[in-house]
Amino acid sequence: MDERYWAERWQTGQTGFHQGRPNELLVEHHHRIAGDRRVYVPLCGKAVDLLWLRDQGHEVTGSERVSLAIEQLFAELGLVPTTTTWEFFRLHLTPRLAIVEGDALLVDVDILGKVDAVYDRAALVALDPATQVVYVESLQRVLKPGGHILLVTFDYDQARLAGPPWALGAEAVQRLFGGWCSIEKLGERREPPGPRFVAAGVDDVSEAVFLLQRR
C-alpha cells in the first residue's frame, strides 16, 4: 500500500470515502453477523461503522496505517485510548473498541487473535489488484473456521477511470475468496457518481454487499 498517498489524502482532507453515518448496507444486513462476537474492520480510517458495531454488542478491532485518521477517530468519539506497542504496531485500546496502527497486510493472529467476522467497506477496493491478493491472505490468517466476511464492493467501468477505488464485481470476489469461502450476494444498489467519476464519463456506479463464510 502507498502509505504516503493515503497520508496525503488525510492531511489535505481528500476523504470522500469517509461516510459520516453507518453504511446503509451494513445496517440492512448486520443481522447476518449479529451473533459474531469479535469483528475486525481493516483499513478502517475513522469510520462511524466502528462505533455502530460496538453499540450492537460486538468487540471491534480496526486496523489503520495513517495516524491522523486514528487521532481524529478517538477525538471525535471523545475517547482517550491506552496506547502501547507490539513489534512494529501501535495498539490503541478502549473498552470493546481497539485500533491496530500499522500495515493491515501484516496483521496476523499474534497481534489480532482469531476473529469471528470481518467487515470490509472500502478496504479491498482501495487496493490495486496485486495487493488485493496479499490482503485476502491476511484475512485468511485471522478469520475463524465458520467465520463471516461482510464485504461491500464498488463496480464501474474501470476502463474509463483507474482506481482507487478499484472496480470489483462478483467474478473478482469469486476469484479472491472462492477457494476458501462460500459466497452469497446479499444486495446491490446504484451509487451517485462523485465529481471524479463524472469528469471521467463514468455515470453508472454500483455498490454491492456479499456475505462470505469460511469453510
Res 16: pLDDT: 53
| CATH fold for the domain made of 3-214 | Rossmann fold (3.40.50)
pLDDT digits (tens, 9 = 90+) for 49-62: 999 999 999 999 99
Q: Supply the angle between the helices 129-142 and 170-177 in degrees, to the nearest 10.
A: 50
The 3-state DSSP class for residue 2 equals coil
Is pTM beyond 0.85? Reply is yes
**Positions in the chain whose pLDDT score sits under 50:** 18
CA 164 to chain centre: 14
Spatial separation of the C-alpha atoms in residues 7 and 66, rounded to whole Å: 6
Phi and psi at 72, nearest 5°, equal -65, -40
Alpha helices in the chain (DSSP H): 3-11, 24-29, 48-55, 67-77, 109-112, 129-142, 170-177, 195-199
Does residue 99 contact residue 83 with C-beta atoms inside 8 Å?
A: no
Phi and psi at 100, nearest 5°, equal -95, 115
